[in-house]
Amino acid sequence: MRPTLDVEVVVIDVLGTLVDQPRGLRTALHDVLPDASEESVRALARGWEEHVETQQLLVAARRRDYVDSDVLDAEAARQVATSAGITDADAVAHLATYAQRLPAWEDTVHGLDLLAGRFPVVALSNASSASLLRLDAHAGLRWHHTASSESVGAYKPDPAIYRHALAVARCEPDRALMVAAHAWDLRGARDVGMSTAYVDRPVGDPPTTDDDFDLAVGGLVELAVALGAPR
């Protein structure tokens, strides 16, 4: 960590950083397609992720009005259902709400407890407020405030969503530490002046040699200890 890093508030990404989103999606697909091969499920998951990413980029380019993550997931669920021949409405609904049932990484609950015992923690996510509420209850996550992209009608890495987190925290940007497993997310936060911490996750977006984040750690417990929390 840089010696000048002075953290007042921790702002933390959720999908991929606190929970294993890809595994949760594959689990939901296996639930409704119990006879499908792992290869087939992974292909359907890739199609789902590509749809959501494409639609978020269209929103960012102002080529589509903002819709929240629940709408995008419902669209992806219908596409998967059509592709896989799923006609049961309950199965499609189960797929559409998969983001409410994602598994936490092994160190997430304890690491969040350590962080939240020392700092105000803001969960900053492209997920809808309703999904975050249910995901929090499902995975046993601890934070003090939820800041969803729907509050500003924009998806990360749009500067507006990071500024929203700063407005919630009411602190100077460099005293708000953005924590994420995605380098693109941290770049967005850094561009508005926030301090940054990269957490290594198997499904994340690692930094490049050109990235200069304030901290890089192997997990949330390591992060909390680096910020002065007891183990």
Predicted confidence (pLDDT) at residue 1 exceeds the cutoff of 60: no
For the ranges 3-12, 69-78, 149-158, 168-177, the lowest mean pLDDT is seen at 3-12
Residue 79 pLDDT: 97
Among 228, 203, 226, residue whose Cα is nearest residue 17: 203
Query: For the chain, what is the largest distance between any 2 Cα atoms, rounded to a whole number of angstroms?
Result: 58
What average pLDDT is seen over the chain? 96
Q: Are 22 and 133 in contact (CB under 8 A)?
A: no
Residue 4 pLDDT: 54
Q: How far is CA 139 from CA 87, 135, 144, in A?
A: 29, 6, 15
Q: Are 216 and 198 in contact (CB under 8 A)?
A: yes
The CATH homologous superfamily for domain 9-20+102-226 is: HAD superfamily/HAD-like (3.40.50.1000)
83-104 pLDDT tens trace:
999 999 999 999 999 999 999 9
